[in-house]
Amino acid sequence: MEELFLGFLTFFTSVVAAIVGIGGGMMLIAILPSFLATNALIPIHGLTQVSSNLSRAYFGYKDIEFSVVPKFLLGSILGIVFFAGILSLISLDYVPLFIGIYILLSLWSEKFNEKIKKYENYYIAGFFQTGLSMVVGATGPLTMTLLFKDFKNKDKVVATGALLMSITHFLKIVVFIYFGFLFFDYIGIIVCMIFGAILGSYVGTKLRNRIDGKKFAIILKIMLTFLAINLIFQVIIKNIF
Protein backbone atom coordinates (compact mmCIF):
# COMPACT_ATOMS: atom_id res chain seq x y z
CA MET A 1 0.00 0.00 0.00
CA GLU A 2 2.84 2.36 0.86
CA GLU A 3 4.48 1.63 -2.51
CA LEU A 4 1.31 2.62 -4.38
CA PHE A 5 0.94 5.81 -2.34
CA LEU A 6 4.54 6.83 -3.07
CA GLY A 7 3.94 6.04 -6.74
CA PHE A 8 0.92 8.37 -6.78
CA LEU A 9 2.84 11.02 -4.85
CA THR A 10 5.67 10.86 -7.38
CA PHE A 11 3.16 11.10 -10.23
CA PHE A 12 1.73 14.30 -8.73
CA THR A 13 5.13 15.91 -8.11
CA SER A 14 6.28 14.94 -11.61
CA VAL A 15 3.19 16.62 -13.09
CA VAL A 16 4.06 19.76 -11.10
CA ALA A 17 7.65 19.74 -12.39
CA ALA A 18 6.54 19.23 -16.00
CA ILE A 19 4.14 22.19 -15.79
CA VAL A 20 6.24 24.71 -13.86
CA GLY A 21 9.77 23.46 -14.52
CA ILE A 22 10.76 23.26 -10.84
CA GLY A 23 9.16 22.39 -7.50
CA GLY A 24 8.26 18.74 -7.99
CA GLY A 25 11.58 17.42 -6.74
CA MET A 26 11.50 19.77 -3.75
CA MET A 27 8.00 18.67 -2.86
CA LEU A 28 8.95 15.00 -3.07
CA ILE A 29 12.12 15.35 -0.98
CA ALA A 30 10.13 17.23 1.67
CA ILE A 31 7.61 14.39 2.02
CA LEU A 32 9.84 11.31 1.70
CA PRO A 33 11.37 11.51 5.23
CA SER A 34 7.99 10.37 6.57
CA PHE A 35 8.28 7.12 4.58
CA LEU A 36 11.95 6.27 4.12
CA ALA A 37 14.95 5.69 6.35
CA THR A 38 17.30 8.68 6.40
CA ASN A 39 20.13 6.80 4.66
CA ALA A 40 17.75 5.89 1.78
CA LEU A 41 16.22 9.33 1.36
CA ILE A 42 18.66 11.00 -1.06
CA PRO A 43 19.53 7.87 -3.13
CA ILE A 44 15.91 6.86 -3.83
CA HIS A 45 14.86 10.44 -4.46
CA GLY A 46 17.75 10.74 -6.92
CA LEU A 47 16.82 7.58 -8.82
CA THR A 48 13.20 8.67 -9.03
CA GLN A 49 14.20 12.11 -10.25
CA VAL A 50 16.37 10.65 -13.00
CA SER A 51 13.28 8.94 -14.42
CA SER A 52 11.14 12.05 -13.92
CA ASN A 53 13.61 14.48 -15.50
CA LEU A 54 14.83 12.18 -18.26
CA SER A 55 11.27 11.39 -19.35
CA ARG A 56 10.38 15.09 -19.24
CA ALA A 57 13.42 15.85 -21.39
CA TYR A 58 12.43 13.07 -23.80
CA PHE A 59 8.86 14.34 -24.19
CA GLY A 60 10.25 17.81 -24.96
CA TYR A 61 13.49 16.82 -26.72
CA LYS A 62 12.86 19.19 -29.67
CA ASP A 63 13.18 22.15 -27.29
CA ILE A 64 16.45 21.11 -25.57
CA GLU A 65 19.41 23.50 -25.93
CA PHE A 66 22.23 20.94 -26.11
CA SER A 67 24.90 23.65 -26.34
CA VAL A 68 24.86 24.15 -22.56
CA VAL A 69 25.27 20.45 -21.70
CA PRO A 70 29.08 20.03 -22.01
CA LYS A 71 29.73 23.01 -19.71
CA PHE A 72 27.22 21.81 -17.15
CA LEU A 73 28.52 18.22 -17.29
CA LEU A 74 32.11 19.24 -16.60
CA GLY A 75 31.05 21.36 -13.63
CA SER A 76 28.84 18.54 -12.35
CA ILE A 77 31.65 15.97 -12.40
CA LEU A 78 33.93 18.29 -10.42
CA GLY A 79 31.10 19.10 -7.99
CA ILE A 80 30.16 15.48 -7.33
CA VAL A 81 33.79 14.55 -6.61
CA PHE A 82 34.24 17.48 -4.21
CA PHE A 83 30.98 17.11 -2.28
CA ALA A 84 31.14 13.31 -2.10
CA GLY A 85 34.09 13.75 0.22
CA ILE A 86 31.95 15.82 2.60
CA LEU A 87 29.23 13.18 3.07
CA SER A 88 31.23 11.26 5.66
CA LEU A 89 31.41 14.40 7.81
CA ILE A 90 27.64 14.99 7.97
CA SER A 91 25.20 13.29 10.34
CA LEU A 92 22.39 11.84 8.22
CA ASP A 93 19.91 12.63 11.00
CA TYR A 94 20.19 16.29 10.05
CA VAL A 95 19.73 15.89 6.29
CA PRO A 96 15.96 16.69 6.47
CA LEU A 97 16.88 19.87 8.41
CA PHE A 98 19.22 20.97 5.61
CA ILE A 99 16.50 20.21 3.08
CA GLY A 100 13.88 22.25 4.95
CA ILE A 101 16.16 25.26 5.41
CA TYR A 102 17.26 25.16 1.77
CA ILE A 103 13.65 25.10 0.53
CA LEU A 104 12.62 28.05 2.73
CA LEU A 105 15.63 30.11 1.69
CA SER A 106 15.10 29.43 -2.01
CA LEU A 107 11.42 30.35 -1.72
CA TRP A 108 11.54 33.45 0.49
CA SER A 109 15.05 34.91 0.75
CA GLU A 110 15.93 37.44 -1.94
CA LYS A 111 19.51 37.64 -0.64
CA PHE A 112 19.91 33.86 -0.93
CA ASN A 113 18.59 33.87 -4.49
CA GLU A 114 20.77 36.84 -5.39
CA LYS A 115 23.80 34.84 -4.28
CA ILE A 116 22.61 31.91 -6.39
CA LYS A 117 22.35 34.21 -9.39
CA LYS A 118 26.03 35.09 -9.02
CA TYR A 119 26.86 31.61 -10.29
CA GLU A 120 25.71 32.59 -13.74
CA ASN A 121 27.64 30.21 -15.90
CA TYR A 122 26.98 26.56 -16.55
CA TYR A 123 30.31 25.31 -15.22
CA ILE A 124 29.70 26.77 -11.75
CA ALA A 125 25.97 25.99 -11.83
CA GLY A 126 26.79 22.34 -12.57
CA PHE A 127 29.39 22.26 -9.78
CA PHE A 128 27.05 23.53 -7.08
CA GLN A 129 23.78 22.01 -8.34
CA THR A 130 25.17 18.49 -8.58
CA GLY A 131 27.44 18.74 -5.55
CA LEU A 132 24.83 20.18 -3.19
CA SER A 133 22.25 17.63 -4.37
CA MET A 134 24.26 15.03 -2.44
CA VAL A 135 23.08 16.75 0.75
CA VAL A 136 19.74 18.47 0.05
CA GLY A 137 18.44 16.33 -2.83
CA ALA A 138 16.59 18.91 -4.97
CA THR A 139 18.68 21.81 -6.29
CA GLY A 140 16.87 22.68 -9.53
CA PRO A 141 16.55 26.44 -8.80
CA LEU A 142 20.33 26.83 -9.16
CA THR A 143 20.14 26.15 -12.89
CA MET A 144 16.59 27.29 -13.61
CA THR A 145 17.42 30.90 -12.76
CA LEU A 146 20.18 30.81 -15.36
CA LEU A 147 18.01 29.11 -17.98
CA PHE A 148 15.17 31.60 -17.48
CA LYS A 149 17.65 34.41 -18.14
CA ASP A 150 19.16 32.84 -21.28
CA PHE A 151 16.01 31.43 -22.89
CA LYS A 152 12.61 33.13 -22.95
CA ASN A 153 10.73 30.13 -24.33
CA LYS A 154 9.12 28.20 -21.44
CA ASP A 155 9.27 24.83 -23.23
CA LYS A 156 12.98 25.36 -23.91
CA VAL A 157 13.64 26.16 -20.25
CA VAL A 158 11.69 23.18 -18.92
CA ALA A 159 13.15 20.64 -21.37
CA THR A 160 16.76 21.83 -21.01
CA GLY A 161 16.45 22.09 -17.24
CA ALA A 162 15.11 18.52 -17.13
CA LEU A 163 18.12 17.21 -19.04
CA LEU A 164 20.56 19.04 -16.77
CA MET A 165 18.80 17.72 -13.65
CA SER A 166 18.99 14.21 -15.15
CA ILE A 167 22.77 14.59 -15.24
CA THR A 168 22.80 15.82 -11.64
CA HIS A 169 20.79 12.90 -10.28
CA PHE A 170 22.53 10.26 -12.41
CA LEU A 171 25.97 11.26 -11.13
CA LYS A 172 24.61 11.26 -7.59
CA ILE A 173 23.30 7.71 -8.02
CA VAL A 174 26.73 6.56 -9.24
CA VAL A 175 28.30 7.93 -6.07
CA PHE A 176 25.77 6.20 -3.78
CA ILE A 177 26.31 2.90 -5.60
CA TYR A 178 30.05 3.39 -5.06
CA PHE A 179 29.39 3.93 -1.34
CA GLY A 180 27.49 0.64 -1.27
CA PHE A 181 23.84 1.68 -1.15
CA LEU A 182 21.63 -1.29 -2.15
CA PHE A 183 18.80 0.02 -4.31
CA PHE A 184 17.40 -3.51 -4.72
CA ASP A 185 16.33 -3.49 -1.05
CA TYR A 186 13.70 -0.91 -2.04
CA ILE A 187 12.77 -2.38 -5.44
CA GLY A 188 8.98 -2.30 -4.87
CA ILE A 189 8.98 1.35 -3.89
CA ILE A 190 11.40 2.26 -6.69
CA VAL A 191 9.34 0.58 -9.44
CA CYS A 192 6.14 2.34 -8.35
CA MET A 193 7.85 5.71 -8.04
CA ILE A 194 9.57 5.45 -11.44
CA PHE A 195 6.29 4.49 -13.11
CA GLY A 196 4.56 7.44 -11.41
CA ALA A 197 7.40 9.81 -12.41
CA ILE A 198 7.28 8.90 -16.12
CA LEU A 199 3.49 9.02 -16.29
CA GLY A 200 3.52 12.37 -14.46
CA SER A 201 6.02 13.80 -16.94
CA TYR A 202 3.78 12.80 -19.83
CA VAL A 203 0.61 14.25 -18.27
CA GLY A 204 2.35 17.44 -17.09
CA THR A 205 3.85 18.05 -20.55
CA LYS A 206 0.37 17.83 -22.08
CA LEU A 207 -1.07 20.19 -19.45
CA ARG A 208 1.75 22.77 -19.47
CA ASN A 209 0.11 25.24 -21.83
CA ARG A 210 -3.42 24.69 -20.49
CA ILE A 211 -2.82 25.81 -16.90
CA ASP A 212 -2.10 29.29 -15.56
CA GLY A 213 1.51 28.85 -14.56
CA LYS A 214 1.62 31.92 -12.27
CA LYS A 215 -1.35 30.86 -10.12
CA PHE A 216 -0.06 27.31 -10.01
CA ALA A 217 3.37 28.55 -8.87
CA ILE A 218 1.79 30.51 -5.97
CA ILE A 219 -0.05 27.42 -4.71
CA LEU A 220 3.13 25.39 -5.06
CA LYS A 221 5.11 27.94 -3.07
CA ILE A 222 2.63 27.79 -0.18
CA MET A 223 2.62 23.98 -0.15
CA LEU A 224 6.43 23.79 -0.20
CA THR A 225 6.64 26.28 2.67
CA PHE A 226 4.43 24.16 4.93
CA LEU A 227 6.32 20.99 3.98
CA ALA A 228 9.70 22.61 4.70
CA ILE A 229 8.57 23.91 8.11
CA ASN A 230 7.26 20.44 8.97
CA LEU A 231 10.64 18.90 8.07
CA ILE A 232 12.51 21.33 10.30
CA PHE A 233 10.22 20.74 13.28
CA GLN A 234 10.47 16.96 12.88
CA VAL A 235 14.26 17.11 13.17
CA ILE A 236 14.12 19.50 16.14
CA ILE A 237 11.60 17.33 18.02
CA LYS A 238 13.51 14.11 17.24
CA ASN A 239 16.97 15.33 18.18
CA ILE A 240 16.33 17.90 20.92
CA PHE A 241 13.18 16.97 22.86
What ranges in the chain are assigned the alpha helix state H?
A: 2-20, 24-31, 38-59, 69-84, 95-108, 110-117, 122-136, 141-150, 154-178, 187-207, 213-240
Residue of 132 and 130 predicted with greater confidence: 130
Residue of 22 and 10 predicted with greater confidence: 10
**Residue 194 reports pLDDT greater than 90:** yes
- How many Cα atoms are found within 13 Å in the side-chain-facing hemisphere of 29? 32
Query: What's residue 217's pLDDT?
Result: 67
In this prediction, residue 51 has a pLDDT band, given cuts at 50, 70 and 90, of very high
**Residue 124 reports pLDDT greater than 80:** yes
Residue of 35 and 90 predicted with greater confidence: 35
Average pLDDT estimate for 171-182? 90
**Residue 100 reports pLDDT greater than 70:** yes
Query: What's residue 98's pLDDT?
Result: 79
**Residue 46 reports pLDDT greater than 80:** yes
In this prediction, residue 158 has a pLDDT band, given cuts at 50, 70 and 90, of confident
In this prediction, residue 109 has a pLDDT band, given cuts at 50, 70 and 90, of confident
- Distances in whole angstroms, Cα of residue 108 to Cα of each of 9, 61, 199, 214: 25, 32, 31, 16
Query: What's residue 92's pLDDT?
Result: 66
Q: Which of 5, 45, 11, 54 is nearest to 25 (CA)?
A: 45
Task: State the chain's mean pLDDT as an integer.
Answer: 84
Q: Are the C-beta atoms of 198 and 51 separated by less than 8 Å? A: yes
In this prediction, residue 237 has a pLDDT band, given cuts at 50, 70 and 90, of confident
The pLDDT tens digits of the residues spanning 206-234 come to: 888 787 767 766 776 787 788 788 778 87
Average pLDDT estimate for 196-200? 94
